[in-house]
């Protein structure tokens, strides 16, 4: 997942706005007590998500893949007054921990946290979203995009995380391409050719695709 030299990464984080105390606590608890803590957006990417959200000033955000809630809290920092973030996750085992941090945040009344299959929930949503953040199972990235694109307002954004997949998308030494890697290759190619969006793939952390609906 690391593409930069460690010294460069540390320097970048050192010269990036600090996490607030709630995010620091969530970061520590996730790494101490939760499986696969690398799934957490973390300090640098979290501040990037916050900055993007503050630039857009969204009224409605959809997040697909909550994990322990770090990225949701970062995205909420840019919400308009009275705005709302809907975040979806299929893992009910993390619900208590995640909800505890949501309840402690200043955005507790703006977060709609739902446990269930996003493929079933998204079609029921009637909101027009200004920002969508996809960070769930990679196999369904194309499905999530297709379900969301008509729910994003013109000029709105879709962000897709992990699109470089620890560099596997360009690894010529792989003897066999696994399903997740192939799904991301297909997704990256599809959105790059989709004339409904403009796109840029940034090598931030594990790769972040930014799409703007035209």
The class that CATH gives domain 6-213 is alpha beta
Q: For residue 175, is pLDDT > 90? A: no
Rounded to the nearest integer, the mean pLDDT of the chain is 96
Closest CA to 132 of 197, 186, 181, 178: 197
- In terms of pTM, does the model score above 0.85? yes
Beta strand spans in the chain (E): 60-64, 84-89, 111-115, 129-134, 152-161, 197-202, 208-213
Q: For residue 1, is pLDDT > 90? A: no
CA distances (Å), origin 128, targets 66, 121, 137, 147: 20, 15, 23, 12
pLDDT in tens, 42-78: 999 999 999 999 999 999 999 999 999 999 999 999 9
Q: What is the pLDDT of residue 117?
A: 98
β-strand partners of 213 = 197
Main-chain dihedrals φ then ψ at residue 179, nearest 5 degrees: -65, -40
Using a pLDDT cut of 90, give the percent of the chain over it. 90
């Amino acid at each position: 997942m690391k593409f930069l030299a460690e010294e460069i990464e540390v320097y970048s984080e050192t010269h990036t706005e600090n996490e607030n105390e709630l995010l620091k606590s969530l970061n520590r608890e996730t790494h101490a007590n939760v499986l696969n803590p690398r799934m957490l957006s973390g300090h640098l990417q979290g501040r990037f998500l916050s900055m993007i959200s503050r630039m857009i000033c969204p009224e409605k955000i959809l997040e697909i893949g909550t994990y322990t809630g770090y990225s949701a809290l970062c995205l909420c920092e840019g919400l308009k007054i009275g705005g709302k973030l809907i975040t979806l996750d299929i893992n009910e085992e993390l619900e208590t921990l995640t909800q505890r941090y949501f309840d402690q945040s200043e955005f507790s009344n703006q977060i709609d946290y739902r446990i269930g299959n996003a493929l079933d929930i998204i079609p029921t949503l009637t909101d027009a979203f200004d920002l969508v953040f996809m960070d769930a199972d990679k196999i369904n990235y194309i499905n999530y995009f297709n379900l969301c694109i008509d729910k994003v307002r013109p000029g709105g954004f879709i962000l897709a995380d992990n699109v470089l997949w620890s560099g596997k998308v360009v690894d010529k030494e792989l003897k066999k391409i696994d399903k997740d890697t192939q799904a991301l290759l297909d997704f990256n190619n599809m959105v790059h050719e989709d004339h409904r969006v403009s796109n840029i793939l940034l090598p931030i952390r594990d790769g972040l695709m930014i799409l703007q609906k035209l």
